[in-house]
Chains A and B, each alone.
Chain A
Amino acid sequence: MAVATGNSFASRFGVHIAVLVFVVIWTIPTLGILVSSLRDKDQIIASGWWNSFASSSQTEAGRLPAASAQTQKDGKFVLEGNIFGDGAKRSISAFGVKAAAPTQYPAGTSADLGDGVTLQVNADGSFVMASPKAFEGDRGQRVYYASSAPPKFTTDNYQTVLFSEGIGRSFMNSLTVTIPATVIPILIAAFAAYALAWMRFPGRALLIAVVIGLLVVPLQMSLIPLLKLYNGVGTFFGVPSKTYLGIWLAHTGFGLPFAIYLLRSYIAGLPREIMESARIDGASDFEIFVKIVLPLSFPVLASFAIFQFLWVWNDLLVAMVFLGTAPDQIVLTAKLNALLGSRGGNWEILTTSAFITIIVPLIVFFSLQRYFVRGLLAGSVKGG
């Protein structure tokens, strides 16, 4: 395939650049939330994540202590202290006393506030305010300042999100939904696929056509009748209508057409000679399936398992219809959707939660990419 361009240095260089541009555009968005999830929550709103390795500067406001804290020195009334309190590693570049001019005076200089009152704020946050007359009132002087903080990375966001925002619990719920919903369809589909590939019976062609037809039926067609059915069953037996069992079966049903289609096309391609020699040796269909077809089909079973796992883990619609929103049932995707509503501006929570929801699919994807791609090719190139 090294035909098309590839001759001149310039065009080859162009190809490298073009691919690099695509890769950058495709990875930057994910990188953005990964970096942000590890940043200090005050810094996230103070600077763009692409600046996270530089010191971030922001304009803040504070209030000096009230008049009761004043001392007398050299015949002047003085207020002293540190704007940051203790231990903050930030530095001030400029300060001011009016909201309209928050950075009027450079740090370390003495500002004249009129009536002989002076205020000096140093880079480390310490301040001295002096006046010939005694300070009055129980509200201190308002001070604005531009401060910069060194980059700060932390895993605090992960702790907050996992343990107090309920993401940890939702993670368990997602696992609870996903694993059975991945395992149950495999066996059911494998038997059906074998029958549709290697057994002769009336109606087989029709069944295959039905499965292929169902492959593209939108999920939306199933939702309302199943919701009614589940409500009906729940009322009839006096049990809740939103249960894990309900969603396991629903995902099994929605995953079956693809499972049967994928497995059938693979199993149909297994060599005929193996089946026939086993049959001559007196093996029944059941024995052939269990001892020959299942072991040989491992790659396609793995492909389907990955697909179903990703699909169930990433699903929002089915979970919103068939599961409740209480902490004991809400899955990660639904929880993230809820957080978007309730924590709309808290990017430290949103980016961290989003990263936790995508980490499992990414691990599955990277470790099993080979099977994933194989399933993708088998599932769509042959007509699906």
Chain B
Amino acid sequence: MATQIFSAIFVIIIGVGGCVAYFWGANKLLDLIFPARGVSGTAAVNNLRRQGLVRPWLFVGPALIILTIYLVYPVIATLWLSFFDRGGTSFVGFANYEWALRDPDLRNAIRNNILWLAVVPAACTFLGLIIAVLTDKIWWGTIAKSLIFLPLAISFVGASVIWKFIYEYRGEGQIQIGLLNAIIQYFGGQPQVWISLPFWNNFFLMVILIWIQTGFAMVILSSALRGIPEETLEAAVIDGANPFQIFWKIMVPQIWGTIAVVWTTITILVLKVFDIVLTMTNGQWNSQVLANLMFDWMFRGGGDFGRGATIAIIIMIAVIPIMIWNIRQANKETGGH
């Protein structure tokens, strides 16, 4: 363990030192090759121009290399591998995709993912918006927001343990140590094994993600609400609008852009949801989702890279519309710069 700590410190020094040395050294080298000081006027101008051509690439170089190895190449390779067999050696055409169309597990996972997509972003945005509006009105709103925001710092695995404890089941008539079953039993209901109730268990897993992400929606929407011009609200009050009209007809339309951003951000997160399902049910009792199924295929029986890659492509296809929308938005914003 001591060597481990030592090597971690060593790596930080080497990594940071290496970065500094690279940027400083490359810059120095460039000055040596194309000197701009101590040479005649035209030569200096020419060299400065050449430096200007090379230097940006020195700056973006390391980032470019790492992005290429860790993201650009894998995206292409995953697409490529989805046309190959389990070991990635022999070409199988569209066989993996035909399998994907027929496989009942995969179909179940897609159905569950659609369910997650329909519920979680909507619930987080809606709850986040309501809490943002309410906490703006009271003196202890900041503390309340902090506490609701807090689960965002908790890992999905940690959150799963927290909620598994709430869903804990003991036989009927016994003392329930899970909060949910204790409440149900207190009111005379029948305790249930919540996470193995087919179909409904999906919702009990979704609650965990909603619990985590509502704080995110709340913070973003709260700051957008502050940006609403006071005059529009005052005018509405003078015109005799009631609180609900003000909320739906004055406030919400002015923050549509932010709502869309929150919605899409959570949508992408939902498509990748993995940890919660793995730790709560591992896809049993019809609660499978795409990301967990993919992980399963990556390692099941030595791993089937072809099918795993195909599932990754399915997730990617769902993300592409959001990706295009993002790039368009960003282009609009940076167009002037």
Stretch from B97-105, B117-125, B162-170, B198-206 that touches the partner: B162-170
Q: Are A23 and B162 in contact (CB under 8 A)?
A: no
Question: How many angstroms from the CA of A172 to the CA of B224 in the assembled complex?
Answer: 40
Q: Are B55 and A172 in contact (CB under 8 A)?
A: no
| Contact A176/B60 with A1-B226, A48-B179 known, Cβ cut-off 8 Å | no
| Contact A336/B70 with A18-B134, A381-B258 known, Cβ cut-off 8 Å | no
Q: DSSP class of A's interface residues: helix, strand, loop or mixed?
A: helix
Q: Are A376 and B220 in contact (CB under 8 A)?
A: yes
Question: How many angstroms from the CA of A223 to the CA of B298 in the assembled complex?
Answer: 9
| Contact A337/B298 with A222-B74, A316-B157, A384-B265 known, Cβ cut-off 8 Å | no
Check: A121 CB closer than 8 A to any chain B CB.
no
**A residues near B8, Cβ cutoff 8 Å:** 175-176, 179-180, 244
**B residues near A315, Cβ cutoff 8 Å:** 155
* Chain B residue at minimal CB-CB distance from A168: B1
Question: How many angstroms from the CA of A219 to the CA of B236 in the assembled complex?
Answer: 46
Check: A173 CB closer than 8 A to any chain B CB.
yes
Question: How many angstroms from the CA of A368 to the CA of B19 in the assembled complex?
Answer: 26
**B residues near A180, Cβ cutoff 8 Å:** 8, 11-12, 15
Check: A268 CB closer than 8 A to any chain B CB.
yes
Q: Are B326 and A45 in contact (CB under 8 A)?
A: no
Q: Are B60 and A207 in contact (CB under 8 A)?
A: yes
Partner of B19, one of A12, A184, A216, A350: A184
**A residues near B175, Cβ cutoff 8 Å:** 46-48, 58
Q: DSSP class of B's interface residues: helix, strand, loop or mixed?
A: helix
**A residues near B134, Cβ cutoff 8 Å:** 15, 18-19, 22
**A residues near B47, Cβ cutoff 8 Å:** none
Check: B33 CB closer than 8 A to any chain A CB.
no
* Chain B residue at minimal CB-CB distance from A30: B162
Q: Are A188 and B262 in contact (CB under 8 A)?
A: no
* Chain B residue at minimal CB-CB distance from A25: B211
**A residues near B158, Cβ cutoff 8 Å:** 314, 333, 336, 354, 357-358
Interface string of B137-175 (1 = CB under 8 A from A): 110110010111111111111101111111010000001
* Chain A residue at minimal CB-CB distance from B233: A3
| Size range of the chain A interface in the assembly | 35 or more
Partner of B219, one of A50, A321, A376: A376
Stretch from A70-78, A137-145, A251-259 that touches the partner: A251-259
Stretch from A84-92, A149-157, A193-201 that touches the partner: A193-201
Check: B256 CB closer than 8 A to any chain A CB.
no
* Chain B residue at minimal CB-CB distance from A251: B70
Number of interface residues of B (CB under 8 A): 128
Partner of B27, one of A47, A49, A286, A316: A286
* Chain B residue at minimal CB-CB distance from A22: B131
Q: Are B138 and A260 in contact (CB under 8 A)?
A: no
Question: How many angstroms from the CA of A317 to the CA of B306 in the assembled complex?
Answer: 19
Question: How many angstroms from the CA of A204 to the CA of B131 in the assembled complex?
Answer: 41
Interface string of A363-381 (1 = CB under 8 A from B): 0111001000100110011
Check: B66 CB closer than 8 A to any chain A CB.
yes
Partner of B279, one of A257, A260, A340, A366: A340
* Chain A residue at minimal CB-CB distance from B271: A218
Stretch from A102-110, A122-130, A224-232 that touches the partner: A224-232
Nearest CB of chain B from residue A2's CB, rounded to whole Å: 6
Q: Are B261 and A48 in contact (CB under 8 A)?
A: no
Other A-B contacts than A180-B15, A350-B161, 16 sampled, CB-CB below 8 A, are: A3-B233, A3-B234, A3-B236, A3-B246, A15-B137, A15-B138, A19-B144, A22-B131, A23-B144, A58-B175, A183-B12, A199-B59, A210-B72, A224-B298, A286-B55, A337-B279
Closest 9 pairs between A and B when the two form their complex, measured CB to CB? A253-B70, A314-B155, A225-B77, A195-B59, A192-B63, A365-B153, A222-B74, A354-B161, A201-B56
Interface residues, chain B, with chain A CB atoms under 8 Å away: 1, 4-5, 7-8, 11-12, 15-16, 19-20, 23-24, 27, 31, 52-53, 55-57, 59-60, 62-64, 66-67, 69-75, 77-78, 81, 88, 127, 131, 133-138, 140-141, 144, 146-158, 160-166, 168, 175-179, 182, 211, 214-216, 219-220, 223-226, 230, 233-234, 236-237, 243, 246-247, 258, 261-262, 265, 268, 271-272, 274-275, 278-279, 291, 294-295, 298, 305, 308-309, 311-313, 315-316, 319, 322-323, 326-327, 329-331, 333-334, 337
Q: Can you give 20 contacting A-B residue pairs, CB < 8 Å?
A: A3-B236, A3-B246, A12-B137, A19-B134, A172-B5, A173-B4, A176-B7, A192-B59, A201-B53, A218-B315, A220-B315, A220-B316, A249-B66, A256-B67, A316-B157, A354-B162, A362-B150, A369-B146, A380-B261, A381-B220
